[in-house]
Amino acid sequence: MQRKRKLGRGVAIVGAGMSKFGMFRDRDTKDLFLEAFNEAMASVDKGMDPNDIDAIYFGNFSNDFFVHQAHWGPIISDLIGNVPKASTRTEGACASGALALREGVFAIASGFYDIVLAGGAEQLSKLPTEKVTEGLALATSPYEGKAGFTFPGVFGATASAYFKKYGANREHLMNVTIKSHNNAPLNPKAQFPQSISDVMKDKVQRAIDKGKPVPVWKDEREFLRDPLVNPVVAWPMHLFDCSPISDGGSCVIMVAEELARNFTDAPLHVIGLGQGSGSGLHAKEDLASFEATKYAAREAYELSGLRPDDVQVCEVHDCFSIAEIVHLEDLGFFAPGQGYKAVEEGLTQRDGPKPINTSGGLKCKGHPIGATGTAQIYEIWKQLRGEAGERQVPIDSLRIGAAHNLGGTGGTCTFTILERRG
332, 421 in Cβ contact below 8 A?
A: no
Residue 153, SS3 per DSSP: helix
Does 255 participate in binding ligand COA (rule CB under 6 A)? Answer: no
Please say whether the beta carbons of 41 and 47 come within 8 A.
no
∠ at Cα 237 (312, 313), nearest 5°?
A: 5
Asked if 94 touches ligand COA (CB under 6 A), the answer is yes
Q: How far is the CB of 122 from ligand COA (least distance, A)?
A: 10
Q: Is 133 in the site for ligand COA (CB under 6 A)?
A: yes
Total site size for ligand COA, rule CB under 6 A: 14
d(CA 75, CA 82): 10
Q: Which one of 33, 113, 151, 163 is in contact with ligand COA (CB under 6 A)?
A: 151
Tell me: does residue 322 bind ligand COA (CB under 6 A). no
- Closest CB to ligand COA among residues 274, 368: 368
Confirm or reject binding of residue 375 to ligand COA (CB under 6 A): no
Rule CB under 6 A: say whether 95 interacts with ligand COA.
no
Q: Output 40 or 234, the one with its CB closest to ligand COA.
A: 234
Task: Please tell me the distance from the alpha carbon of residue 353 to that of residue 21, in angstroms, as a whole number.
Answer: 28
Residue type, 216: V
Is 314 assigned a catalytic role? no
263 binds ligand COA (CB under 6 A): no
Is 176 near ligand COA (CB under 6 A)? no
Binding mask 112-131 for ligand COA (x = CB under 6 A): -----------------x--
Rule CB under 6 A: say whether 136 interacts with ligand COA: yes
Residue 115 host element (H or E): strand 115-123
Cβ closer to ligand COA: 245 or 325? 245
Which of 261, 9, 263 is closest to 112 using CA atoms?
A: 9
Task: Write the DSSP assignment of 187-245 as a string of letters.
Answer: -TT-SS---HHHHHHHHHHHHHHHTPPPP--SSHHHHHH-TTTS-EEETTEEGGGB---
* Residue 327: active-site member: no
Which positions touch ligand COA (CB under 6 A)?
A: 94, 129, 133, 136, 151, 233, 239-240, 242-245, 319, 367
